[in-house]
């Protein structure tokens, strides 16, 4: 069975022998199986000769918009300058023959740049480019309506590709890139499709270590301020850092039928964002490196495979859902399950807001979120990114501590905040947010299946309860859920 672009699909199972409610997702095993392009130039295409250095640049510059370029077999180079790069025109199409490689030789920063629209890049190996951190080799300037499909994007610094509005990233191998496979940053992006790709070995340069306190800028992919993204059918595995990371004012995400496994950090990290559907994913053996680090540092914070941080459903922000719905997923042998967290001190205009000078989508003007106005509604509610309206149901959670070499803190669910302390004028001090996230913001687990020694962390990090306490008064969570003591489903 094949998907478009010839990505090889390998069937995978869920936890143990229990039947899944739906067929398990297939693995998009693209790396090593990237489909070749045409062996001869299509009619009307401009042939590009790898023996002529810079031939791709010269022919792009000389050709009108909407030209198809056929890159002949061999290694194509762009020149000796740091900024030798291809700047497509509207509608240009770059098509690789079998064995066509575009190589930056660790000299060129970028492969394909500029603001042209409706550019297509397919059947190429793109390697050896050295964009700085937080920049990308392909679609560096986030042009709109690009299609990037059936490529091997490997061994680049920074990100292999940047995201653009209505960009389709499909059937690619994104492997061993220095920082990310995909980065969407710093613009008003919308309508992104990420489908049937394999992300593996990214953050190969361990970017976090470059910064004294880390940078929060690494993993398979990170997306910032994207309004509408479909991330489906990808195999996201063995990356150093998170698998899918959405950070700050993202909205309307659909994350479905992915296989996410063996990533060092969270499988899915949805942060200071809105309205998402996370369903029918297989999530295995994630967060083990990060989880063990917390234990080694004697830090009881409940890091988890799915981490929802200051994010929730908000009906005033238009999307295909008005909640965060997490359903139909299989989570097996991760370091903990799902954590819903809201930092009491993090809100618009607070010094504890790591998204500096950024406000919520409900209050675009940062200056409004200050005393005394923030003490009254609607600003008191709207200046916060709230973890609210999260519906967690019909998932399967299985953990065997022996299988992941765990002795403590690796089989937990959490619904919590911290004791509010700063700034001095904050209206969210003390237990205000702890009580709100736990009891008043419509966050609900129900109808899930658990296997393993699960415990639950409500209100704040030092409070741990057993399933009975979680289901009983005052928390009344996981109505209709079942619990088994063993490490797997029978």
- Helix/strand/coil for 414: strand
Confidence of residue 8 (pLDDT cuts 50, 70, 90): very low
Residue 449 confidence (pLDDT) above 80:
yes
Query: Is 70 contained in some domain?
Result: no
How many domains would you assign to the chain?
A: 1
Contact present, 421 and 345 (Cβ < 8 Å): yes
Residue 10 confidence (pLDDT) above 60:
no
Residue 19 confidence (pLDDT) above 50:
no
Query: Is 148 contained in some domain?
Result: no
Query: Is 230 contained in some domain?
Result: no
The residues near 152 (Cβ < 8 Å, ≥ 6 apart) are 31, 34, 124, 125, 126, 127, 172, 173, 175
Query: Is 342 contained in some domain?
Result: yes
pLDDT at 23: 54
Query: Is 51 contained in some domain?
Result: no
Average pLDDT for residues 244-264, to the nearest whole number? 98
Which run of H or E residues covers position 382? helix 379-382
Residue 305 confidence (pLDDT) above 50:
yes
Comparison of pLDDT for 62 and 2, the residue scoring more: 62
For residue 101, list its beta bridge partners.
75, 125
Q: Which single residue is written with the structure tokens 């765990």?
A: 406
The chain-wide mean pLDDT, for the chain, equals 94
> Within 10 A of 297 (CB to CB), how many other CB atoms are there?
9
Residue 17 confidence (pLDDT) above 90:
no
pLDDT at 24: 61
Over residues 317-363, the pLDDT tens digits come to 999 999 999 999 999 999 999 999 999 999 999 999 988 899 999 99
Over residues 20-35, the pLDDT tens digits come to 444 567 788 999 999 9
In which domain, by residue range, is 294 found? 266-490
pLDDT at 485: 83
pLDDT at 211: 94
Query: Is 12 contained in some domain?
Result: no
Q: What is the DSSP letter of 209?
A: G
Over residues 125-175, the pLDDT tens digits come to 999 999 999 999 999 999 999 999 999 999 999 999 999 999 999 999 999
Average pLDDT for residues 410-424, to the nearest whole number? 98
Average pLDDT for residues 374-403, to the nearest whole number? 98
Confidence of residue 5 (pLDDT cuts 50, 70, 90): very low
Segments of 64-138 assigned E as strands: 68-71, 74-76, 93-96, 100-103, 120-122, 125-127, 136-138
Q: What are phi and psi of 57, to 5 degrees?
A: -65, -50
Number of separate helices (H) and strands (E) present in the chain: 5, 38
Q: What is the DSSP string of 247-297?
A: ESS-EEEEEES-EEES-SS-SEEEES-EEEEEES-EEES-SHHHHHHHHHT
Q: Which single residue is written with the structure tokens 């900024």?
A: 83
Average pLDDT for residues 36-63, to the nearest whole number? 98
The token duo for 168 is 């389709």
Residue 33 φ/ψ region, left for φ over 0, alpha for ψ in the -120 to 50 degree band, beta for the rest:
alpha
Which run of H or E residues covers position 381? helix 379-382
Query: Is 142 contained in some domain?
Result: no
> How many angstroms separate the CA atoms of 133 and 82, rounded?
15
Distance of CA 490 to the CA centre of its chain: 32
Q: Which residues of 32-48 are buried (b: 16+ CB within 10 A; e: fewer)?
A: ebbbebeeebeeebbeb
> How many angstroms separate the CA atoms of 242 and 136, rounded?
18
Confidence of residue 487 (pLDDT cuts 50, 70, 90): low
Query: Is 384 contained in some domain?
Result: yes
């Amino acid at each position: 069975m094949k998907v478009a672009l010839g990505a090889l699909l390998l069937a995978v199972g869920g936890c143990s022998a229990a039947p899944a409610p739906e067929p398990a997702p297939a693995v998009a095993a693209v790396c090593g199986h990237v489909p070749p392009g045409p062996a001869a130039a299509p009619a009307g295409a401009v042939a590009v000769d790898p023996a002529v250095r810079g031939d791709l640049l010269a022919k792009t510059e000389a050709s009108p918009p909407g030209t198809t370029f056929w890159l002949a077999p061999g290694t194509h180079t762009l020149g000796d300058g740091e900024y030798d790069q291809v700047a497509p025109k509207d509608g240009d199409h770059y098509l690789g023959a079998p064995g066509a490689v575009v190589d930056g030789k660790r000299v060129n920063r970028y492969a394909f740049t500029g603001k042209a629209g409706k550019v297509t890049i397919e059947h190429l190996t793109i390697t050896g480019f050295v964009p700085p951190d937080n920049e990308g080799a392909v679609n560096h300037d986030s042009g709109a309506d690009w299609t990037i499909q059936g490529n091997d994007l490997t061994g680049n610094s920074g990100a292999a590709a940047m995201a653009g509005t209505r960009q389709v990233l499909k059937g690619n191998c994104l492997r061993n890139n220095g920082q990310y496979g995909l980065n969407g940053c710093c613009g008003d992006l919308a309508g992104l499709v990420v489908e049937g790709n394999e992300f593996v070995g990214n953050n190969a340069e361990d970017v976090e270590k470059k910064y004294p306190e880390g940078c929060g800028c690494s993993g398979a992919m990170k997306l910032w301020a994207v309004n509408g993204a479909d991330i489906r059918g990808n195999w996201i595995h063995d990356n150093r850092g998170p698998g899918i990371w959405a950070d700050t004012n993202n909205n309307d995400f659909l994350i479905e039928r992915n296989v996410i496994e063996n990533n060092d950090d969270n499988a899915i990290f949805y942060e200071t964002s809105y309205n998402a559907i996370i369903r029918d994913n297989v999530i295995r053996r994630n967060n083990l490196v990060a989880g063990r680090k917390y234990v080694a540092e004697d830090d009881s914070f409940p890091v988890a495979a799915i981490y929802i941080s200051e994010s929730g459903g908000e009906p005033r922000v238009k999307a295909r859902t008005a909640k965060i719905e997490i359903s139909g997923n299989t989570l097996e042998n991760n370091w903990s399950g799902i954590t819903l967290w809201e930092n009491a001190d993090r809100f618009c205009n607070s010094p504890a807001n790591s998204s500096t000078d950024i406000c919520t989508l409900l209050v675009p003007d940062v200056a409004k979120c200050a005393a005394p106005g923030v003490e009254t509604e609607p600003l008191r509610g709207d200046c916060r990114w709230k973890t609210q309206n999260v519906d967690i149901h019909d998932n399967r959670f299985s953990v065997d501590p022996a299988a992941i070499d765990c002795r403590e803190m690796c089989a937990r669910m959490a619904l919590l905040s911290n004791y509010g302390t700063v700034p001095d004028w904050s209206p969210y001090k003390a237990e205000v947010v702890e009580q709100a996230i736990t009891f008043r913001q419509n966050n609900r687990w129900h109808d899930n299946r658990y296997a393993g020694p699960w415990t639950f962390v409500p209100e704040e990090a030092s409070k741990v309860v057993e399933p009975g306490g979680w289901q009983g008064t005052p928390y009344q969570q996981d109505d209709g859920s079942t619990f088994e003591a063993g490490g797997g489903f029978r």
